[in-house]
Structure 1
Amino acid sequence: MKKQTPGLSDAYALSTPEHSRRLYADWAGTYDQDFAAGQNYLLPGLTAKAFAAAGGTGPVLDVGAGTGLCGQALRALGVEPVDATDISAAMLAEALRKDVYRDVIEANLLEGIPVPRGSYRGVVSSGTFTHGHLGPEVLPALLRVAAPDAWFALSVNSRFYGKAGFAAAFERLRRGQWIKHLTLPETRIYGPRATGTHKDDTALIAVFQKV
């Protein structure tokens, strides 16, 4: 019996890092065609554009890079070098095939990122801050690897933004003088060819600068 291809509902139902590794190991080989192309997935490109428009430059860390769609978009905009980090070795293997990353780093963000403090002038993330994935608890780990004045562009599913407490987290970081110039433009996640329950979902792209 043929194993069913994973989908968005499976991803949104994830509950542990090990569940994430298993799901994305199964999904990695078909993700770009069945999901990204099939659902007209716009968010990686829009996140890259928001980063570049803010004045973001490399070296950049692509957080939750998956198969490398955001890294590909960054390179098309002339932003490089870019490194990728993801919990899934299988997804990173797909990302490497795109030949857009300087390096890939397999890491569970809840345990931190094994690179020196202040390694990056920019941090981007597309599709990682959403249901079943990561919330604002990993923001300190991202700030640690960013140099002073580094730009961030982090997409957050709009419904998840409120549910997970991102507004309060960003306010704490602002008051603590960790971040500045926060804007939250809203964008569609999928284009007009998308189908299914989530086809009209939106994301907020948190664009800000580390102090």
Structure 2
Amino acid sequence: MKKQAPGLSDAYTLSTPEESRRLYADWAGTYDQDFAAGQDYLLPAQTAKAFAAAGGEGPVLDAGAGTGLCGQALRALGIEPVDATDISAAMLAEALRKDAYRDVIEADLKEGIPVPRGSYRGVVSSGTFTHGHLGPEVLPALLRVAAADAWFALSVNAKLYEKAGFAGAFDRLLSGQWIRNLTLPEVQIYGLGATGAHKNDTALITLFQKV
């Protein structure tokens, strides 16, 4: 019997790094066609556009880059160079095929990113801060690799924003003067072609600058 391809319901129930690596190893080859195209996945382009509109510039780190959809969108907007980091080597292999990245870095964001402090003028993330994936605990690791005044555009599933503690985390970063100019535009994750229980889900794109 043919093994059923992974889907969003599987991704939303992940609980360990090992589960993430296994799921995305199975999903990498079909992700762009079955999920991104099949569900009219708008979020990577929405995130890239928000970053560009805020004045973001390269070099950029795409955190949780997956198959490279956000990096591809950034390049289409003229923003380069972009590096990708992701926990899944299989997804990064797909990203490399798009020729949108200067470099790819396999890393678990909970353990940090093996690049020098202040390496990037911008950081983006699309679809990584969501159910079964990452929460605000990795924000310090992302801030570490960003230079002063770097722009961030991190999409956060709107249903998760309060529940996972993002609101409190950003309040602490603002009050501690680690970041400034925080805005939270809300966007649709999927287009009109989406189906299923999550077709109307939204994300908050957390736009801010590192102090």
Counterpart in 2 of 1:123? 123
Counterpart in 1 of 2:103? 103
Q: CA deviation at 1:29?
A: 0.1
Q: Residue 128 of structure 2: SS of its match in structure 1?
A: strand
Q: CA deviation at 1:162?
A: 1.2
Q: How many residues align?
A: 211
Residues 32-65 of structure 1, C-alpha deviations (whole Å, 9 max, x = no match): 0000000000000000000000000000000000
Q: CA deviation at 1:206?
A: 0.1
TM-align CA RMSD: 0.3
The whole-number CA distance in structure 1 between the counterparts of 2:21 and 2:53 is: 33
Return structure 1 stretches of 4+ with deviation > 4 angstroms: none
Q: Residue 9 of structure 2: SS of its match in structure 1?
A: helix
Kindly provide the amino acid, as one letter, of the partner of residue 19 in structure 2: H
Counterpart in 2 of 1:194? 194
TM-score (norm 1): 1.00
Q: CA deviation at 1:76?
A: 0.2
1:19-38 paired onto structure 2 within 5 Å = 19-38=19-38
The whole-number CA distance in structure 2 between the counterparts of 1:162 and 1:197 is: 21
Structure 1 unmatched ranges of 5 or more: none
1:131-146 paired onto structure 2 within 5 Å = 131-146=131-146
The whole-number CA distance in structure 1 between the counterparts of 2:81 and 2:187 is: 26
TM-score (norm 2): 1.00
The whole-number CA distance in structure 1 between the counterparts of 2:39 and 2:160 is: 20
Structure 2 unmatched ranges of 5 or more: none
1:151-162 paired onto structure 2 within 5 Å = 151-162=151-162
The whole-number CA distance in structure 1 between the counterparts of 2:122 and 2:167 is: 21
The whole-number CA distance in structure 2 between the counterparts of 1:98 and 1:176 is: 39
The whole-number CA distance in structure 1 between the counterparts of 2:162 and 2:25 is: 29
Counterpart in 1 of 2:42? 42
Paired-residue identity, %: 85
Q: Residue 122 of structure 1: SS of its match in structure 2?
A: strand
Kindly provide the amino acid, as one letter, of the partner of residue 43 in structure 2: L
